[in-house]
A and B are shown apart, each in its own frame.
Chain A
């Protein structure tokens, strides 16, 4: 576990930054903005009525956004973009650390299997995701109680909130894949933010175009939080797609990490 501990020590500040950012976003949106939306429903509805329908759809504005669950579904995309950016950043940084610092020789010439190195690094990223989403979930549940929301129920709300972690897993796996396959890495921050924004842009395509096929290329849309709120289930096909994307990205990254030549 020496690689795990080393990577965790190098990464904890970023984990803390991600966790605090998401906790603040959740507290501000759910604890600060939701009560205002709820209390000013008629005025807000008047404002929103002036929005072009597709523009409103692109930003997740629905008639249901005045309930706690509906508002959560509305802000999901913003929580997802934060999760995606940090997930991609962590995948890129942890798996690309030796490439960034040009010290692959140092690590790979040590008596450790490459497979073992890969999974210790994966465990570090997973730790960050679990901590960030655990704190986020705690904050979201605390706000839910604070604002007196009773619907959706706790179980259903937890499942809705877990969508954010699901998105983060996908982007962390994609970050790891890019880090392993890229011959050279330079700015992982720019790349991570770019991936997160790309995820956001892709998530706007299905509602803007009314073309559901775009959901297949939009990882944010794999978790239909609105459907979870109204029907208590996610779309199985997209859940499987999300899982498969994670598994395939990690498997390809793992094979490449184990087999590829280390450049001098």
Chain B
């Protein structure tokens, strides 16, 4: 079996005493689209920048496409395309000149490829990048990240600034690259995007991976969205249901209806509900956003201990 596209072992980056990322254990298989989600400051960009050698790791190890990120960085980068979250380029350059310069780092002639990508993204390459809108600058970034048909595409918040039409084209391009065989690491805090395009996802919180699962698995976990409608006009009081503490979160009430996210034994939930007179019950798979919020709200409610154990679980998977 071929080596994973990305494999990290206890990858850690510290900025003096400040936290960066801690003991990141991540395996991204070849050919998959892997989501990397977490709020701002969770450590997504730090992880990506460490993998690319933009910043040096403090400890741990990592390989990208089988190359050691420290000792074989140049060889590794020849096969990687990277789109940073914020795109800045040289002052006064036209897009075509910037892309020509970017292409000069790789073996081959990418003139046609650049033109094809520009046509797909509806980008005028003769314009100065300084005069471009944020969305068009992002398109330049997308082309420079994809022009050499890399084996691994690392996207850090790639859609910010893109209009919906350009986003659609962008996702089409990424899917085509993936069908060609490219692995994609997709970092975002826009969960609907991750949910739509990714095969698996890692959730990062406070510099640690707290969960790594497939999108399907993640939605199949014990975490469920529960919506119950009381038979009368008074909604259910969750506190009196007898559910274990910490097993429910995000409760919302509207009329006789109560919605909440439940994480626990479904038999306990069904027993608790069976003891009440209800007009309706709906138990559905939550959206990725609800799962994500569950992980974060859960952490905030219960402190870090539960997540430290989750992080270990995630690391062992």
Contacts and interface: CB of A to CB of B under 8 A. Distances in A.
Contacts of B89: 101, 103, 106
Given A101-B89, A261-B56, A111 B102 contact: no
A109 B54 contact: yes
B90 A101 contact: yes
Given A101-B90, A261-B55, A262-B49, A111 B101 contact: no
A112 interface: yes
Interface in B86-110: 86, 88-91, 101-102, 104-106
A147 B53 CA distance: 59
A102 B106 CA distance: 22
Given A105-B54, A106-B88, A111 B78 contact: yes
Given A97-B90, A261-B55, A106 B74 contact: no
Given A2-B105, A105-B84, A111-B105, A259 B90 contact: no
Interface in B130-166: 144
Contact of A112 (B74, B82, B88): B74
Interface string A1-20: 01000100010000000000
A108 B52 CA distance: 9
Contacts of B75: 111
A248 B101 CA distance: 31
Interface string B40-67: 0000010001001111100000000000
Contact of B101 (A6, A105, A264): A6
B54 A2 contact: no
Interface residues of B, number: 27
A2 B74 contact: no
A110 interface: yes
A113 interface: yes
Interface residues of A, number: 21
A101 B88 contact: yes
A102 B105 contact: no
Contacts of B104: 2, 6
Contacts of B56: 259, 261
A262 B102 contact: no
Sorted nearest first, the 9 A-B pairs with minimum C-beta distance are A111-B78, A2-B104, A111-B77, A261-B55, A102-B88, A110-B105, A262-B54, A103-B88, A109-B82
8 contacts: A6-B101, A101-B91, A105-B84, A106-B89, A108-B52, A108-B53, A111-B105, A264-B45
Given A106-B88, A106-B89, A109-B54, 16 more contacts: A2-B105, A97-B90, A103-B88, A103-B89, A103-B90, A105-B54, A108-B53, A108-B54, A110-B105, A111-B106, A112-B74, A113-B74, A259-B56, A261-B55, A264-B84, A264-B86
